[in-house]
Chains A and B, each alone.
Chain A
Amino acid sequence: MTTALRLEGIHKSFGANEVLRGIDLEVGEHEVVCLIGASGSGKSTLLRCVNLLEPLNGGRVWLAGEEITRRDVNVNAVRRRIGIVFQAFNLFPHMTVLRNVTLAPRDALRLPREEAEARATELLGRFGLADKRDEYPDRLSGGQQQRVAIVRALAMQPELMLLDEVTSALDPELVAEVLSVIRELAEGGMTMLIATHEMSFAGDIANRVCFLDAGLILEEGPPEQIFTRPREPRTQQFLERIIAAGRL
């Protein structure tokens, strides 16, 4: 299996607060890796570091064999190859759905307008959003907004998708529609690194699950092993709390 993403010794601090304390991780092409762990364990920060939205304090990142943490790397060019979807959607509220999706293809990839719009319309149609293309984000439900955010990232045709707790801000009845979109992406062979609190979804979709604790990957393995026979006591404790909360 070709390596799509490799992290080596990622360190990240905010002031005196050391959030990531040496993360090593490899994600193969077409692989889906889920990051689980309590709030504050560093999942979101790790994803933002991969996308170079946060400067690292130490460590290196390779995307398809090419180091992207070198000083002379064009970060804009790197980010075009990595899609990220945020917990709070972060759609552009002053633009229609279509404009949200075509902005980066037109401005960053310099696609002609017709081509960008054709690509956007095709993607919106695929994810059941064809009739929303001229709406403003304010008018959409949370689930629709999050699907638009996924389409916006996909319109750049990324080699890797990072999903940062994309269902955490949604009403429970809207979670399923977003998860089914992600499942479709996984089935289509998209390489994904997913931070999530949806354990059953992680068990269902992931090739591998990583348990993050206090800025380190404490344990990783296939979902059936992590969820049924965790080795580390901390992983057991975390999963027991999740079960007690009725989330697994």
Chain B
Amino acid sequence: MASEGDRRSDLEVAGRRSRLLAGLRLEGEGARGVAIALLSTVVFFTAVAVAVTQSPGWPEVQRTFFNWDDISSSFPDIARAFVLNVKIFLVAEVFILVLALAIAVIRSLPGPVFFPLRLLAIVYADLARGVPTILVVALLGFGAPALELSGVPSSRVFWATVGLILIYSGYVSEVYRSGIESVHPSQEAAARSLGLSRAQAMRRVILPQAIRRVIPPLLNDFIGLQKDTALVGTLGVIEAFNQSQIDANATFTYGAYLAAAALFVALTIPLARLTDWLIARDRRRRQATGVQG
């Protein structure tokens, strides 16, 4: 009864090694391949740099965009304002993950009894994805406080965040749904055949597999949300984008925009790396336990 697992382990080790290089697509090329890649990269970017700096408008562009003094002097203000973007993002993300999951699960309820709920979920997802985000942010951000309702916050930031949550929940619910539908029906059959209820099968068997599969597209929407926090600035709230506009208007240069862009990028890139790492760790855990143990 020789275990097939033993035979697989060699393949697995080779497979994992190649994944380390897969991102750069240099596997199997050796030192010569690396040298060629290095050389062609240097040549390519040198050519681009020469072409840009030799263009007729470059001195003007350099003065208005790439003035280091502008960038560095506006940076502290923008960084302080950026804290608000991060806060909005973090709060909105938590609510989006929960609300979108609820919508996706409602949409997957079977049977004619649940038709009205399914219909609501479908209409919601269609509307949320159909209306421009900036409209919803403006409608809620200006409109809701104007209602002067008692017992609810009247801050524009609060209502703009609600708007982002409502819009992004529509997108994210579709991501969850595609994950739920990608889990083979035999998994649910196996769970139900053991006497688990539909809810238990969903929670223990379907959702864990579905969510794992949609982590990359979920991240994609997170990044979109991080950037869309700048829309709150259109309500006159001082966040990173609005602050950079103020700075740009004060100096008649655009270095402040670059500073704001750098802050957004600094937030999104680590998130992308973290997600890749999570996916790789999950794959290793499921497939390679035999190699270590």
Contact = CB atoms under 8 A, between A and B. Distances in A.
Contacts of A107: 196, 200, 204
A152 B187 CA distance: 14
A93 B283 CA distance: 11
Interface string A49-75: 001010000000000000000000000
Interface size grouping (class) on chain B? 20 to 34
A92 B195 contact: no
A139 B289 CA distance: 8
B106 to A, nearest CB: 21
Contacts of A144: 3-5
Contact of B190 (A86, A134, A139, A143): A86
B286 A136 contact: yes
Interface string B141-163: 00000000000000000000000
Interface in A92-125: 92-94, 103-104, 107-109
Interface string B182-205: 000011011111111100100011
Nearest to A107: B200
Interface in A149-204: 152-153, 156, 174, 177
B192 A134 contact: no
B290 A135 contact: yes
Given A92-B205, A107-B204, A177 B1 contact: yes
B287 A139 contact: yes
A92 B187 contact: yes
A128 B1 CA distance: 10
Contacts of B288: 139
Interface residues of A, number: 38
Interface string B224-262: 000000000000000000000000000000000000000
Nearest to B3: A141
A96 B3 CA distance: 17
A80 interface: yes
Contacts, number: 95
A103 B289 contact: no
B186 to A, nearest CB: 5
A153 B194 contact: yes
Q: Max chain B CB contacts within 10 Å: which of A48, A78, A94, A134?
A: A94
Contact of A93 (B1, B192, B286, B293): B286
Given A107-B204, A108-B195, A139-B8, A90 B187 contact: yes
A104 B205 contact: no
B287 A79 contact: no
Contact of A136 (B4, B197, B287): B287
A108 B189 contact: no
Contact of A143 (B1, B196, B200, B293): B1
A93 B286 CA distance: 8
Contacts of B76: none
A17 interface: no
B208 interface: yes
B281 interface: no
A76 B195 contact: yes
A141 B4 contact: yes
A93 B209 contact: yes
Contacts of B1: 128, 143, 177
A84 interface: yes
A139 to B, nearest CB: 4
A86 B186 contact: yes
B196 A140 contact: no
B289 A104 contact: no
A138 interface: yes
B190 A92 contact: yes
B212 interface: yes
Contacts of A53: 189, 192-193
A79 B200 CA distance: 14
What are the nearest 10 A-B pairs in CB distance? Answer: A141-B4, A80-B195, A104-B194, A90-B190, A108-B195, A79-B195, A139-B290, A136-B286, A84-B193, A90-B186
Given A107-B200, A135-B290, 16 more contacts: A77-B195, A86-B189, A91-B190, A92-B190, A92-B191, A92-B204, A93-B286, A94-B209, A103-B191, A103-B204, A109-B195, A136-B286, A136-B287, A139-B288, A140-B4, A141-B4
24 contacts: A53-B189, A53-B192, A53-B193, A76-B195, A77-B195, A78-B195, A79-B194, A79-B195, A84-B193, A86-B186, A88-B186, A92-B190, A93-B209, A107-B196, A108-B196, A108-B197, A109-B195, A134-B293, A136-B287, A139-B5, A139-B287, A139-B289, A140-B4, A156-B194
Interface of A: 48, 51, 53, 76-80, 82, 84, 86, 88, 90-94, 103-104, 107-109, 128, 134-136, 138-144, 152-153, 156, 174, 177
